[in-house]
Structure 1
Amino acid sequence: MNRIPASRFEMAGSAADEPSELVARGGYVARLSDCVACHSVPGGAAYAGGLKMATPMGAVYTTNITPDRNTGIGSYTLADFDRALRSGVAKDGHRLYPAMPYPSYAKLSDDDVKALYAYFMRGIPAVHQQNRQSTIPWPLNMRWPLAFWNVVFAPSGVYHPDATKDTQWNRGAYIVEGAGHCGACHTPRGLAFNEKGTDSHSAAFVSGALIDGWYAPSLRNTPNTGLGRWSEDDLFRFLKTGRNEHAVVFGSMAEAFNNSTQFFSDDDLRAVAHYLKSLPGDGTREGASWHYEPTQAAAREPAKRQELPGAQTYMAKCSFCHGADGRGQGQWVPPLAGAASSMMQDSSSSINITLNGSGRVVAAGVPDAYRMPSYREQLSDTDIADVLTFIRLSWGNRQSVVFADDVKKLRDQTTPANSSPVILKTH
């Protein structure tokens, strides 16, 4: 069971003589796969690793994947690289934790794997930086059981086009299910840390999931907590510019936008949007579709705001940007009325961004001018719970209250957003 998987590239040579066109192609596949987001830290060298990733068992740290021969992957052959990428097995034979999305990368084509290898061997500088050990305690840190995990939960084989779908849909599926590994964040996981669905045939696939203090929303067409009210053009603009009339990227999605989606070709962005809009939502998951309703009267009348917990805080801290009506400021400041984060049962994202603010969004090389600030030092746990409860029960939003203990838990587990994100420059 612990046999190392074979690679289709066992007889392949090194990347030393690969043409520059293949290296450039590999750089684009790396953008599709957003490798830099996980294998880099703010202020550090791109792809040198060191990012802490929380798991239920403890923290793991991403590895150095630069071509340094001692601390990176410079000694990897194409076959070694392929096994690590698509089977989750490092060159020395140890199994990778599925925090590395090899179950998604298994779907990459042979040509894209070869291009990625050429890019990592020839397209980026080598960085000598030692890898950090995980904090997962023994015996949970034993890796050999992952061989059994892979048999049960990890798909194998490259992506095969669906003959019943058009070319654009299949390209979108290849990116979302494979290179883009969208399910790694947006799909709920089972007790074994397995994604509950890995493709469009599963209703659980990209249906929303809690990960590392953020709730990644559903990418299916559920109307209130998913993409049901978004058009394909809305999705295209969001992935291309980081914002649209419904939302602005924040949390982990801001990192994905900064280094990945904005660099997709327009054709690939259209394909992703086309594919996602084909995924049906779950009509039993939520009540009637959201529609705008005026704010409670107590919030509109200054003399009565004290009667409604959170209303005064909202008017003082939030209304200037998000509007007294909760409708935001066009594409620049997102609405809270009808926002997925305001409609989800899980309030983690709302708490996290209120506590810690949003990271800097850099579109086409230009940093954003409007960002959500951190209220960690200005507002108490009760203040934040009250204002979020007000938001979640206003303007037609219909969700549960937020409790101070919920805020305290995330306050203890999180830190303010970094205003200097990792940005990999275009070459």
Structure 2
Amino acid sequence: MKNMLKGLGAALCVAWPLLAQAPADAATPAGAGAADQALVQRGAYLAQLGDCAACHTAPKGKPFAGGLPMNTPMGRIYVTNITPDAQTGIGGYTEADFARALREGVAKDGHNLYPAMPYPSYAKVNDDDVKALYAFFMHGVAPVQQANRESDIKWPLNMRWPLMFWNMAFLEKGAYRDKPGKDVAWNRGAYLVQGLGHCGSCHTPRGVAFQESALDESGSAFLSGALLDGWFASNLTGEHNSGLGRWSDEDLRTFLKTGANRHASAFGAMTSVINNSTQALSDQDVAAVSAYLKSLPPVGGNGAAAYTYDPQATKVSLDRPANDAGARVYTAYCMHCHGVDGRGFAPMLAPLAGNPNVLAKDASSLINVTLNGTGDLVINGVPSPFPMPGFAAVLDDKQIADVLSFVRAGWNNGAPAVGAAEVAKLRQSTQAGR
């Protein structure tokens, strides 16, 4: 019974009904009239802000044709075709249909969409931006005839009607409104982060009904970091150790544009965000996002004192690696990239000393990236020359636990040790189907 209740709670996150009527003046079919090219171009930019390609384009697939598998607590789903193909895509959608799907999670035929599409965030997108996005997807995307694939979720967890009650409790309708007392840049950044950027979908922890614990800065958990599909999405608040507290405005802007700075490098799902979205932001929007994020007060962390670099104890261990199992692995496999001093060769090779991902309470991202490596950051069409390789076939669970415990203790990082059981669990979940 307990598992069933948990499953039904999870089912609350998979669909929801039509709760609003379409405005009468928004019923223009996709093919009617010539598209305003300026509007299409603006929509293309907004689609990059929303990182639509990352989810709706499968590896080696055609743009926006869907088919990408996504894991959920109930089973695997497959992302839908959002090209303007009339039979298998959204070519038959009016602007009102499109707006309802985007902001309310309901398809043209009335069926409920899975909330892998972050409609609680997209609900904040204003009408002008919805119009531009619609123009882009109808007139700026090539139609692809590719049927959508049914999910692997079994009955009764594939029932979608329970989300009606979930929406009543958790969905906040209405476009973003500027906050009084905040300047233009702050409000623009808040709109992008909370809305199209949907940063909270990954970086905010979930509640018992799988809802985001907060949708904006009024909630203390907002952007404080969260575990998602084997990765721990980083703390984006001003927390000193595992958050952005030590990052300057320039550090953050550099990371958004290139995926790397003197503190850290992007990996996991964030690689796709950098590749498909944030590097395309205008300088003005990058500055706005940075201004908003840097305004968030510190939340989370592991309760440790503010980080300060100290290499001495770690250097002693590396000088005599035979006495430390983690130091032996580090010397053999890690030191040539990340250095004896743990500072790497930023921004090409990430530092480990003081890296917020190393200092985080949850070591899932470190385990995952050590096991499986990460994809290439591709900035302005040029792939990163030194992507992190995976060591799943080279190191066993204990060796990975040893080296990560060494790194999390090294250079005064002071983060908790990693156990072999944690590594084994993530190895099993992330290697399945490879």
Place the TM-score, normalised by the shorter chain, in its bin. over 0.9
Q: Does 1:369 align with 2:390?
A: no
1:12 counterpart residue number: 27
Q: TM-score, normalised by structure 1?
A: 0.94
2:214 counterpart residue number: 197
2:309 counterpart residue number: 292
Q: Distance in 2 between matches of 1:211 and 1:283?
A: 17
Code of the residue aligned with 1:296 in structure 2: it is T
Q: Show CA shifts across 1:281-331 (max 9, x none).
A: 127752211111124354232xx3222121011011101110011111121
Q: Does 1:391 align with 2:407?
A: yes
1:326 counterpart residue number: 342
Counterpart selection for 1:123 from 140, 156, 166:
140
Gaps of 5+ in 1: 419-427
Q: Does 1:311 align with 2:327?
A: yes
Q: Assess if the C-alpha contact under 8 Å between 2:17 and 2:111 holds in 1.
A: no
Q: Assess if the C-alpha contact under 8 Å between 2:243 and 2:298 holds in 1.
A: yes
Report the aligned-residue RMSD.
1.6
1:425 counterpart residue number: none
Q: TM-score, normalised by structure 2?
A: 0.93
Instruction: Report how far residue 15 of structure 1 moved.
Output: 3.9
Q: Assess if the C-alpha contact under 8 Å between 1:298 and 1:307 holds in 2.
A: no
Q: Does 1:165 align with 2:219?
A: no
Which structure shows the higher helix fraction?
Answer: 2
Code of the residue aligned with 2:339 in structure 1: it is G
Code of the residue aligned with 2:206 in structure 1: it is R
Q: Distance in 2 between matches of 1:167 and 1:200?
A: 17
Distance 1:273 1:76, change over 3 A: same
Instruction: Report how far residue 213 of structure 1 moved.
Output: 0.8
DSSP 3-state at the match of 2:130: helix
Gaps of 5+ in 2: 1-15
Q: Assess if the C-alpha contact under 8 Å between 1:85 and 1:102 holds in 2.
A: yes
DSSP 3-state at the match of 1:60: strand
2:84 counterpart residue number: 67
Instruction: Report how far residue 168 of structure 1 moved.
Output: 0.2
Distance 1:312 1:406, change over 3 A: same
Q: Distance in 1 between matches of 2:347 and 2:334?
A: 17
1:142 counterpart residue number: 159
DSSP 3-state at the match of 1:296: helix
Counterpart selection for 2:288 from 266, 271, 276:
271
Range with bigger deviation, 30-39 or 16-25: 16-25
2:11 counterpart residue number: none
Range with bigger deviation, 222-231 or 340-349: 340-349
Q: Does 1:281 align with 2:304?
A: no
DSSP 3-state at the match of 1:310: helix
Counterpart selection for 1:36 from 53, 78, 97:
53
Range with bigger deviation, 208-217 or 305-314: 305-314
- 1:99-114 pair list within 5 angstroms: 99-114=116-131
1:423 counterpart residue number: none
Q: Distance in 2 between matches of 1:400 and 1:2?
A: 44
Distance 1:153 1:9, change over 3 A: farther
Distance 1:168 1:9, change over 3 A: farther
Code of the residue aligned with 1:259 in structure 2: it is N
Instruction: Report how far residue 3 of structure 1 moved.
Output: 4.8
Instruction: Report how far residue 404 of structure 1 moved.
Output: 1.3
DSSP 3-state at the match of 1:53: strand
Query: How many residues were matched structurally?
Result: 415
Instruction: Report how far residue 55 of structure 1 moved.
Output: 1.5
Range with bigger deviation, 197-206 or 132-141: 132-141
Code of the residue aligned with 1:338 in structure 2: it is G
The percentage of counterpart residues that share the same residue type is: 53
Q: Show CA shifts across 1:222-266 (max 9, x none).
A: 011110000111110111122111111111111000010000100
Q: Distance in 1 between matches of 2:278 and 2:298?
A: 23
